[in-house]
Structure 1
Amino acid sequence: MRSWSKSMVGGIAVALAVAGCAGSGSSGGDSAAAGPRTLTVWLMNGSAPTDLTDALHKEFQETHKDVTVRYEVQQWNGIQDKLTTALAGNDAPDVIELGNTQAPKFAAANVLLDVTAAGKDFNSDQWLGSLKDSGSWDGKQYAVPFYAANRMVLYRKDMFEQAGITAPPASRQEWLDAITKLRAKFGADPDFQALYLPGQNWYTLLSFIYDEGGDIARSEGTKFTATLDSPQAKAGLEFYKQLVEASGTKAPKDADEQTPEQAGIYGQGKVAMVIGLPWEVATAAKSDPTIKTLTSAFPIPSKNSGTPAPVFQGGSNLAIPANSQDQDLAKDYLKLMSSAKYQGAFAKAGMIPGTSSDVSALERDPVNAAMAKASKNGKAVPATPGWATIEAGQNPLKDMLTAYLTGAKSIDQATSDANAALNKAFAS
């Protein structure tokens, strides 16, 4: 799944064995076949805007006269099992979208076409680093970056002005100072929250860990070892707690940003800031339409003044199944989708293009501009098949956050337990 919002490699491998698939791409159709053909494309619900796909498919079919594009929009719920079945059979789609946490699992199962040699055709010199990493496995590239998004701090301009905050915070300390001013101005209202920050927003935690020079894990080839017990990771966790305590947030410490939906809380007009994604403004505006004009954004601040903190980037990749019967057409489709023309359309729609460094369209909107500025230092979760299991199940990072924030565990115990759980998932 896209990690901003998920069976096992072994299961995929078993399915392949039953189906008798080669998995190397040798049974696919990399050379053009004669006569009318159909290119089957699976993209996910909520991904490419309809006007973009309509234009792309029209252009593709104009240059491929005997080809019909069968475009099928898939739902995220249940897609991992559906893909596992499809990639093990003889009637697989030709182009598929994979969430950046899914790609390593399928790449490791040898059910995706190796596109390393074709990278230049897909603008590989401009690939977004976080998505490039998630689409690679064991030194080879199996998926092409599609688009991405990352979090930033959404804030109420009117509240900042009333609290005497003249510029968006450019460091952690300035952020804390802004919170102090907001609470001094509006704190008499018992419902006011300077920052709404749920206890299990692990995406935000990663920014603080990265900013300290830490990471979730280190890799040696395809082997990953958890590093949440490092001094850098602990420092990131400590700042998360400091921010929670300073903000006076009323968010639950045992739930994430979707429980309850934080955009709805922000839309009620009693919250000055949330750490979220650009489209959460539209969700908040369902409660109060004026919030669109009242909201701006700034990158998550670093401890180093003037430099945005690194951010976790969620997003999607595009891949060609190894058993696609029309791999030549699939490559042509990816070449068109990764062109400046269509990647520019993604930027206009408010997404970070995966195969273009041009984010000028994003910079015209203050919220999207903050996302684009932070995106230059985006990172992905460990590119291991075990990560999809972590996110689909009981996420150790969430458990660690809740245990530490509530005082149920010391920072040493919380990070040690999370490390053990991650290493178990990596080994599986």
Structure 2
Amino acid sequence: MRHKLVAAVGAAAMTVALAACGDDGSGGGGGGSSDSITVWLMDGSAPDSWVSELNTAFEEKYGVTVNVETQQWDGIQDRITTALSEDGTVDVLEIGNTQTVGYANTGGLADLGEFADEPWSENMLDSARVDGTLYALPWYGANRVVVYDKSIWADAGAEVPTTREEWIDALEKIDENTDAEPIYLPGQSYYVLGGFIADEGGSFAVQDGDSWEGALDTPAGQAGMDFYRQLQSFSNSPTDNDEASPQQSTEVVPAGDVASWIGLGWEAAGATAAIEEQGGEADFGYFPIPGKTADELGHVFLGGSNLAVSERAGNREMAMNWLRMATSQEWAQKYVDANEGGVVPNRTDVTAEPAPGTFAEAMVQSADVGFLPPLTPGWANVETEPNPIKEFMTRALDGDDFSAAAGDADSEITTRINRE
């Protein structure tokens, strides 16, 4: 999931590969010394122009060389775990926002309390703190929106919705007036479900003292699943697959008349490219996931990345200086501008101004209602296949007793989430 979330930014707005001083693409190498620091950034997370300009400015100011090593998401958790257990392997590193708490709990990340008073975006800050201590700094966020085929919606007389009720009305019009599939929604898109549960004030799991408990068998869980079921009834998708199997953007959408779907920026770009490769022309529009009322948008999973300093950095002083510069108002604004507004800013004094009608515009509108899964090291165990939330969703969509299906999932979530 993490690869997809970051790639959402990469395909939508970052079209160049990361390159910087000392990067040989191997992902290996040593950490900082008195005259250099090593920075690990993930493939696709930053435009080349921003990285190069930042490092040039840093080297001119401090006389210290910055060696950026590009990392791939595949296998990154093991590489980071190893690096954080060694002296001087890496100084500054990018970490997925849902992974930060796990690394902080191992003692591998430096305390960044000196940065606490900066105007960070509050809904991104939770993933960077553990028990009130700041172990990482927010860098950027990205989230899903609804992608729709403008021509199909126009033929159906459907209008862009501002509430859940209007959304259902639009899908009904498409169903009645066209031969298109009103919405493609796999049975197991559990982060989409998580947003609907968050709309009801719920979550996948809740903390009870020092432990966690699954929270699907609750009024919020049932209400969220009920709305998911209502949307999914307009889809031809099976109930036992997710958005990646088959890949909705490159395998499903280009293959047939799909009026709308819920996806990330990289998926929208991928669908456009796949349609054009077939000789067609994509005519997509975008809107935020609607909320229960027009006053508030629907909650969306806010993926993204943080930046941290290794507790065993080879050059901690310069690592802190690089982090301070990279996340400052000046360079954070340059980062957003380099991505054409296609990321959720990390600071309240940074603005994103994406072009009208773009995926980025719809995405940024939802930033204030982003949600995160339970921020605990054990959450990774829950997402391991077979994922109990996915299995619950299929059972619920197939007509099983809700409480029985949710109770079974909660039991498994509770077991896994408390196992670090």
TM-score class, shorter: 0.7 to 0.9
Tell me, which stretches of 5 or more residues in structure 2 are unaligned? 6-30
Q: Is the 8 A contact 2:88 2:315 kept in 1?
A: no
1:177-228 CA-to-partner distances (Å, cap 9, x unmatched) read 10111112212xxxx3110000110111011101112112223565332211
Match of residue 108 from structure 1: 105
Q: Distance in 1 between matches of 2:381 and 2:309?
A: 23
Match of residue 304 from structure 1: 293
For the pair 1:278 / 2:275, whether they are aligned, the reply is: no
* Counterparts in 2 of 1:291 and 1:155: CA distance versus 1, 3 Å: farther
206, 215, 229: which is aligned to 1:227?
A: 215
Match of residue 423 from structure 1: 414
* Counterparts in 2 of 1:282 and 1:226: CA distance versus 1, 3 Å: same
Query: Following TM superposition, by how much is the alpha carbon of 1:3 offset from its aligned partner in structure 2, in angstroms?
Result: 7.4
TM-score between the two structures when normalised by the length of structure 1: 0.85
Q: Which amino acid aligns with 1:53?
A: V
* Counterparts in 2 of 1:293 and 1:250: CA distance versus 1, 3 Å: closer
Deviates more, 1:350-359 or 1:202-211: 350-359
Secondary structure, counterpart of 2:366 in structure 1: helix
Question: How large is the RMSD of aligned CA atoms in angstroms?
Answer: 2.2
Question: In the comparison of the two structures, how many residue pairs are matched?
Answer: 388
Paired residues for 1:5-404 under 5 Å: 5=5, 36-65=34-63, 67-120=64-117, 123=118, 125=119, 127-165=120-158, 167-187=159-179, 192-219=180-207, 223-245=211-233, 247=234, 249-264=235-250, 265-268=252-255, 270-289=257-276, 294-348=283-337, 349=339, 350-356=342-348, 358-362=350-354, 364-404=356-396
Match of residue 14 from structure 2: none
* Counterparts in 2 of 1:390 and 1:88: CA distance versus 1, 3 Å: same
Secondary structure, counterpart of 2:274 in structure 1: coil
Q: Is the 8 A contact 1:103 1:134 kept in 2?
A: yes
For the pair 1:414 / 2:405, whether they are aligned, the reply is: yes
Query: Following TM superposition, by how much is the alpha carbon of 1:343 offset from its aligned partner in structure 2, in angstroms?
Result: 2.3
1:68-117 CA-to-partner distances (Å, cap 9, x unmatched) read 11100001111111111111112320001111121111111111111123
Q: Which amino acid aligns with 2:226?
A: E
1:313-346 CA-to-partner distances (Å, cap 9, x unmatched) read 1111111111112111111111121123332344
Q: Which amino acid aligns with 2:344?
A: I
1:337-361 CA-to-partner distances (Å, cap 9, x unmatched) read 1123332344341111223453432
Secondary structure, counterpart of 1:285 in structure 2: helix
* Counterparts in 2 of 1:104 and 1:129: CA distance versus 1, 3 Å: same
Match of residue 17 from structure 1: none
Q: Is the 8 A contact 1:4 1:314 kept in 2?
A: no
Tell me, which stretches of 5 or more residues in structure 1 are unaligned? 6-28
Q: Which amino acid aligns with 2:237?
A: A
Deviates more, 1:281-290 or 1:380-389: 281-290
* Counterparts in 2 of 1:360 and 1:111: CA distance versus 1, 3 Å: closer
